[in-house]
Amino acid sequence: MNVKKLAKKITAGVTAAALGTALIVTPTAEAIGLGDAIGIGVGVIAANEQINQVKKQIDMINNTEEGRQALYQKFREEYGVEEDYELNARLDRIMSNLSAAVAKVDGTITSKPYLYFISQNDTLNAGCGMGHVMMVNRGTFNYIDSDDEIAAIVGHEMGHGQKDHAASSIKNNLNQQLLAQVGVAVAGGTTLANLIGSLALTHTIADYGRGKEAEADNLAWDYILNTNYNLGAPAAVMQKFVDLEKGHKRSGIESFFNPSDHPDSSKRRDNYGKKLYEYSKKHAEVDKKGVVLVNKKAFVTPAPVGKMSSAERAYFVLGNLAAAYHRGYDKQEATVSNGTVYLGSQAIITPVEGDEDAATLATRLNEIK
Ligand SMILES: [Zn+2]
């Protein structure tokens, strides 16, 4: 089939789902649209054949340049493209840095580079669909100032992308639907068309499941390790979600935290916290109250800055400490240079209004490091 027509046909049903797998909760009523693909009134065996056809078409979209370009265009039309120069320049830099990092871990990225854009959507969200087609909502930039944190989100999406989570989820969902159809057909239930209709209303193809979410989080860590971004950023961005969840249960950001889609944000933060602790050779961590500890002793409780909460910023300090300990800089003195506290050549924290002064922090670090 002509790829453009094919993309239209498939994405009419699965567009939202294909992109949504990662971070977006899709409008479930539109999520599947299998009625088109399967036809009305066909039997289970015919449906099985049709599903195999759909799977082949999914592979074509996921794996061929023609297919994924068609999907990319389709998504750009559907979600709208934010053209703001500055935002696009930021995302270009982040994608370039992360793509280089991913290439060190997983060489397949070179044959399937990401096709990405900023959508005209003001919620905090991002997603990676089939064919490495990625979307970051412009709202993400309204909630997050730090490129390190945006990189952490994009890294998670690239984890989904590198493991083809979108295509495999859609295929699994097709299988589940077929099983359900067989069950009802055997029991002499409704027509296939009705069944598909009801499944489309009650299921979302976009549910990756927690195993895949954890896998994407862990891959994001591996990717960030191969960049110059702050290693605390993945934990910090999870802390941001914890903070946002408290005050905005029903807002546009809620979809990001949907528990059926992603594990609890605090657990995801703590997963990264453990990695940071190990990376620091078990010297540095953030406790439950958001205090940065060095060798189990309080080092600093940072002041909030801009859109960043105190606890969120604590993870940035932790990221710097982890990098310093990992490189053995703790054998050198903590010093102050131009208002920034250093451990060896690693910057640790630049105090702002509300923080203790740099000299006090450096002295304390020397006492407990
Ligand atoms: Zn995800």
Ligand 1 centroid vs 249 CA: distance in angstroms?
Answer: 19
Provide the pLDDT for residue 54.
73
Contact (CB, 8 A) for 37 and 96: no
Q: From the CA of 104, how far away is ligand 1's center (Å)?
A: 21
- Gap from CA of 158 to ligand 1 centroid (Å): 9
Contact partners, residue 346, CB within 8 Å, separation at least 6: 320, 323, 324, 327, 329
pLDDT tens across 228-245, in order? 999 999 999 999 988 887
Q: Spell out the domain ranges in the chain.
A: 3-211, 231-368
DSSP helix/strand/coil, 116: strand
CA of 241 to the centre of ligand 1 (A): 14
Q: What is d(CA 296, CA 79) in angstroms, rounded to the nearest whole number?
A: 48
**What pLDDT, on a 0 to 100 scale, did the predictor assign at position 46?**
67
Q: CB burial class (10 A; 0-12, 13-18, 19+) of residue 187?
A: exposed
Examine the pLDDT at 208 and tell me if it is beyond 80.
no
Least confident window among 84-88, 149-153, 252-256, 266-270: 252-256
pLDDT digits (tens, 9 = 90+) for 30-67: 333 344 334 334 455 666 777 777 777 778 888 999 88
Reported confidence tier of residue 29, pLDDT bands at 50, 70, 90: very low
Q: Where is 135: in which H helix or E strand?
A: strand 133-137
| Mean pLDDT computed over 140-156 | 95
- Least reliable range by pLDDT among 4-8, 128-132, 159-163: 4-8
What distance in Å separates the CA atoms of residue 176 and residue 159, rounded to the nearest whole number? 24
CB neighbours of residue 289 within 10 Å: 10
Confidence class of residue 287 from pLDDT cuts 50, 70 and 90?
Answer: very high
- Calculate how far, in angstroms, residue 206's C-alpha sits from the geometric centre of ligand 1: 10
- Interval 246-286: pLDDT, tens: 765 544 444 444 444 455 889 999 999 999 999 999 999 99
Q: How far is CA 226 from CA 6, 107, 199, 271, in A?
A: 38, 14, 42, 19
Exposure b/e, 127-137, CB count within 10 A at least 16 = b: bbbbbbbbbbb
Tracing tokens 């580079």 back to the chain, one arrives at: 113
Q: How far is the CA of 137 from the centre of ligand 1 (A)?
A: 14
Percentage above 90 pLDDT, the chain: 55
pLDDT in tens, 303-348: 999 999 999 999 999 999 999 999 999 999 999 999 999 999 999 9
Quick check: 48 and 178 in contact, CB under 8 A? yes
Would you place residue 175 in the very low, low, confident or very high pLDDT band (cuts 50, 70, 90)?
confident
Longest dimension (CA), the chain: 78
Residues with CB under 5 A from ligand 1 (ion): 22, 213, 216
Cα–Cα distance for residue pair 117/142, rounded to 1 Å: 16
Higher-confidence position of 4 and 162 = 162
Compute the distance between CA of residue 216 and CA of residue 161 in angstroms, rounded to an integer.
9
Q: Residue 334: in which H helix or E strand, if any? A: strand 334-337
272 C-alpha to center of ligand 1: Å?
15
For the chain, the average pLDDT equals: 80
Q: What is the pLDDT averaged over residues 159-183?
A: 76
Ligand 1 center–CA 16 separation, angstroms? 15
Say how many Å lie between the CA of residue 60 and the centre of ligand 1: 23
Using the mean position of ligand 1's atoms as its centre, give its distance from the Cα of residue 127 in Å.
Answer: 8
Those residues with Cβ within 8 angstroms of residue 23's Cβ, 6 or more apart along the chain or in another chain: 125, 126, 127, 153, 156, 157, 255, 256, 261, 262
